[in-house]
Amino acid sequence: MFNPANAARTATLDPSDARTATLDLKGAGNPVGSVGRAYRLKIVGVRSSDASGAVPIVEGAGSVATLASVRESISDVFVYPSPAVLSRHDRVTFANLPRYAEIVVYTVSGTRVATVEEYDGDGGTTWDLRDEQGRLVPGGVYWYRAARLDANGEEQETKLGKFAVIR
């Protein structure tokens, strides 16, 4: 069971090591990876091999794994949802971020709208679609400048991108 809700398409045991299983999560629903959230995978209904007594994995320590990741580069950053429809979405997520990143959002005319940061190591951060004065932004196209920072806050790499907001 995943939290937030998601599903694995397939689970395959490694033929050379029966202690290892691979889960295929591609196209399984919500994105998993460097997306600004940690997924908790709770193991339920699994037993050891018949040869070892078919012992069930009990709930508690050892039955939950956390999946989260960060990127080394800023080159694959993306925004979702895009377009963000204000009647359905109250935020956007900047995903595929390195451990330390800063994102500055601009209007197409170059006016700075907001700044958000990634510093907790889950590979993403959200923006509440509000400007620096707390006002909900109007619909339109927005540019962002994403910067990978080192541990001292110094820029190491940047990328420009865009996304849309629909009122």
Q: Which pLDDT belongs to residue 133?
A: 97
Helix (H/G/I), strand (E/B), else coil: 161 = strand
Q: Which pLDDT belongs to residue 83?
A: 96
Q: Which pLDDT belongs to residue 46?
A: 74
The pLDDT tens digits along the chain (167 residues) read: 555 566 667 778 788 887 777 777 665 555 556 666 666 777 777 777 788 888 877 777 667 776 667 788 999 899 999 999 999 999 999 998 999 999 999 999 999 999 999 988 788 899 999 999 999 999 999 999 999 999 999 999 999 999 999 98
Predicted TM-score (pTM) of the model is 0.70
Q: CA-based angle 29:31:33, to the nearest 5?
A: 140
Q: Which pLDDT belongs to residue 6?
A: 64
What is the amino acid identity at position 76?
A: D
Q: Which pLDDT belongs to residue 130?
A: 98
- Ordered by start, the domain boundaries in the chain are 2-67, 78-166
Q: Residue 35: which residues within 8 A CB-CB, separation 6 or more?
A: 80, 93, 95, 96, 122, 123, 124
* Distance, CA of 87 to CA of 167 (rounded, Å): 7
* Distance, CA of 81 to CA of 158 (rounded, Å): 21
Q: Which pLDDT belongs to residue 112?
A: 98
Domain range 78-166, CATH class = mainly beta
Q: Which pLDDT belongs to residue 62?
A: 67
